[in-house]
Amino acid sequence: MKFNRFQDAYLYYLKRAYYEPQFENSPRGNKSKEILGISFTLTNPIDRVCYIAKRKINIVFNFAEAIWYLTGSNSLEYISYYAHNMKKYSMDDKTLTGTAYGPKIFAYGSDNINQWNRIIDLFNEDPDTKRAFISIFDVNEELALSNIDVSCTIGLHFLIRDSNLYMSTFMRANDAYRGVVSDIFSFSFIQEFLAAQLSLGVGNYYHNVSTYHVYEPDYKRVAELLNVEKEKCPNYSFPSMPRKDNWEDLNIVADYERQLRENVRTVSVKEINNLAVDAYWKQVVFLFAVYNSIQYCGKINRDYFNELIPQYQYLIKNRWSDKLEGV
């Protein structure tokens, strides 16, 4: 199946998993509906967000998770600030192992292999190569039931064809209601980030999953979402990343993310607008600033909010309508 935007793929396969499951089972005691062996293509992976109001996408978490991966972090404190339920997946209350893909991308295994640099070197040697694969799932991961943090993703495969970067993701398991939303965002974000670094266009994104499922606690939410799926959604286009090596900008954004998350100082609108980064990345900092105001002040800061592009304003208002207070 081919889809131009993620939202359409999301609804199509969520409906299949919920209304037409192949199996109903209870892995690790968690009742679920499941379909096996799904694959779909996104012809415009940049359009990576679902705008359906009922779903209430957390755009701040989406960016935070993607940057968490690209900075190579495994910090629980970092990612749980944006998604408090992540704490239950940590075995030591400090780090995440399976869920933290960053260390596997940039420091894999006992030899700390930087797989990102390795595939760039490979592309420089042979742009037509089929070997540019980043492994995520590690054979050394603990698979016993006592460990609930096992990598859902097997790996990421990149191909350069006709001056575009194509990407295939392979997953052993994917949550059709929750997980796929953030996974598609992060993986297509990584695809676009690498494409920009290589001065390439963004080709198709291919999503391949062995078991695609909905868990029982989400059945009611899924049914409600699918009942209103035809609601009128805003026809936004998601912004494109600057076509350049974005590492310097990303590192600046990551530093501001840390300062805002730790609430170590106040960051003004003027300061963000004067950052030596592209407008695309300033918007991400404003998103983190809005989230900081929610977390530490209990309401959305009007000045930060007003700087956001309409797409982000819509998603913030839809997610945190109770925090608007005059916005």
Could you report the per-residue pLDDT of 65-121, keeping only the tens digit for each? 999 999 999 999 999 999 999 998 998 999 999 999 999 999 999 999 999 999 999
Residue 229: pLDDT band (50, 70, 90) is: low
Convert 273-303 into a string of H (helix), E (strand) and C (coil). HCCCCCHHHHHHHHHHHHHHHHHHHCCCCHH
| Residue 230, pLDDT score | 64
Domains and CATH numbers, the chain: 2-227 (3.30.572.10), 247-323 (no CATH)
Can you tell me the mean pLDDT for 166-176? 98
Can you tell me the mean pLDDT for 157-186? 98
Among residues 86, 94, 89, the alpha carbon closest in space to that of 147 is found at 89
Rounded distance, CA 285 to CA 112, Å?
A: 30
How far, rounded to the nearest angstrom, does the alpha carbon of residue 285 sit from its chain's CA centroid? 16
pLDDT of residue 326 exceeding 70, the answer is: no
| Residue 233, pLDDT score | 81
| Residue 14, pLDDT score | 98
Per-residue pLDDT reduced to its tens digit, 266-324: 899 999 999 999 999 999 999 999 999 999 999 999 999 999 999 999 999 999 999 98
Per-residue pLDDT reduced to its tens digit, 52-80: 999 999 999 999 999 999 999 999 999 99
Average pLDDT of the chain?
96
| Residue 235, pLDDT score | 87
Rounded distance, CA 149 to CA 90, Å?
A: 7
Can you tell me the mean pLDDT for 212-217? 98
